[in-house]
Amino acid sequence: MSQKSTIHFDISERKILLRILDIASVLALLYVIGLIFKFDYFLINKEHWVWSIVLAIYLTLFASIFELYNLQKASKFEVVVQNVILTSSVTVLFYLLTPFYTPTLPTNRLQIVYFYMAINIALFVWRYAYISLISTPRFYKRILLISNSEDQHAIIESLHKSDPNYRVVGTIATDIDSQEVTVDSIIEFPSEGIYQTVLKHQISEIVVGDTQGEGVPVEINNQLLRLLELGTPIREYTQVYEEINRRVPVHHAEKDFYRYFPFSRSNQNKLYLFFHRVLDLLFSVLGLAFGLLIFPLVMVGNLFANRGPLFYSQIRVGKNGMPFRIYKLRSMIVDAEKHGAQFAEKEDVRVTRFGSFLRKTRFDEIPQFINVIKGDMSVIGPRPERPVFVEELSKKIPFYEVRHLVKPGVTGWAQVNASYGTTDADALEKLQYDLYYIKHRRLFLDISIVIKTLSTIIFYRGQ
């Protein structure tokens, strides 16, 4: 008996699909327009192949910045419409401003309008097709979860929250003998006959969750080995969690932490560290230059809204736990901590109106580029915390000190992914992202963080 195959797309496959068909749909429509109408601004032929490559690069870059490849948002058409317009507008603007690698401006300026409209229409049609046809239940990855009964609810909730196309259709408890029962559309299967269960319910992947460290019973393991030999994907829950959430499940790793930490080779790679430092200096110079450009605005805002010192400094914990002094633009009232150190909260009453603007645009971080040049910080890394908070969190959260293996950053994987919060659970979530960065640190991830940071600034989501 052979297993009936089903079609589904992994996260990476869907992102690649979106990128390829974004480019293909735009170039295809522009090619058709060139054949049917008198449209000679953008031509697709052997002589002008560079034009298409430059357009594809711009389109992919700005689509990333404006979150067209965020899978949660890519399945919501009203959000896609906004982001498509932003992407096509900035793409066309930059395309017009680089005439050496792109067509010279046409005498008939209407051709630019046709060019702009064609990009919008192509993206709208393709993305509507994606939402209607691909981002639907028929392409969901169908999961069979095998775990301790106590862990099932938390694991299912985590998987469904992390990826809208990841669907647990059934569970098997490793600690009790269960019968086939349906609860909240999820079937509880008995531990016997897993092979038949996989065939009958067209399971795409089996996820084994052993967060209790008790192991899987031998009789279940034997059945899984047979399925593995027949080609059924079987993965451990923490691996799946890390892949789809892009963070390390440190709350499940206390008993066997170093199993999750072959640290990134880039942490010791001298070539990577050299280029990382070069980029640190380059971004710092650009950041400080931008800071000088907006300095008059900041001075006026501080004079009338903040009414006090423009800058402030604090002691923070850096690489290897070494303290250093950080510099920022003041966003709180004077004497904001007269009653002692405390975390900034969401809607913190100590933050001034102008300070709120500085935080949301992240302009308050600009002076930290001085710390980057001095070598205390990097542009990308974990957020530097104050010694009193580090001491407190280290006692509550396992492996919190691991985040000090690298330099703290002006921005970072946790800063662009984790939601704003001050609880221990929020600190744990941010630590998971920081550890993921330390574990997978590389140039491509650094570029992704820079792009996500630009999205944070553009969409006014700074903290």
Pick the more confident residue, 13 or 126. 126
The C-alpha angle 234, 240, 246, rounded to 5 degrees, equals 160
3-state helix, strand, coil in the chain (%, to 5): 55, 10, 35
Q: What is the pLDDT of residues 8-27, one digit of tens each?
A: 556 667 788 899 999 999 99
- Which ranges of 97-188 would DSSP assign to H, the alpha helix? 110-129, 152-162
Of the given ranges (45-59, 120-134, 138-152, 243-257), which has the lowest mean pLDDT?
Answer: 243-257
Cβ neighbours for 144, distance < 8 A, ≥ 6 positions apart? 168, 169, 170, 171, 172, 189, 194, 197, 198, 201, 203, 205, 206, 207
Q: What is the pLDDT of residues 447-461, one digit of tens each?
A: 889 988 888 887 766
Nearest Cα residue to 11 out of 78, 93, 75 = 75
Distances in whole angstroms, Cα of residue 423 to Cα of each of 241, 336, 350, 414, 419: 22, 20, 18, 15, 11
Q: How confident is the model at residue 157 (pLDDT cuts 50, 70, 90)?
A: confident
Distance CA 133, CA 114 (A): 28
Q: Can you give the pTM of this predicted structure?
A: 0.79
Q: Is the pLDDT of residue 1 over 50?
A: no
pLDDT at residue 277 in the model:
94
Domains along the sequence of the chain with CATH: 11-134 (no CATH), 140-245 (3.40.50.720), 265-458 (no CATH)
pLDDT at residue 258 in the model:
58
The answer to whether residues 441 and 261 touch, using CB atoms and an 8 Å cutoff, is: no
Q: How confident is the model at residue 338 (pLDDT cuts 50, 70, 90)?
A: low
Averaged pLDDT score across all residues of the chain = 85
Q: Is the pLDDT of residue 434 over 80?
A: yes
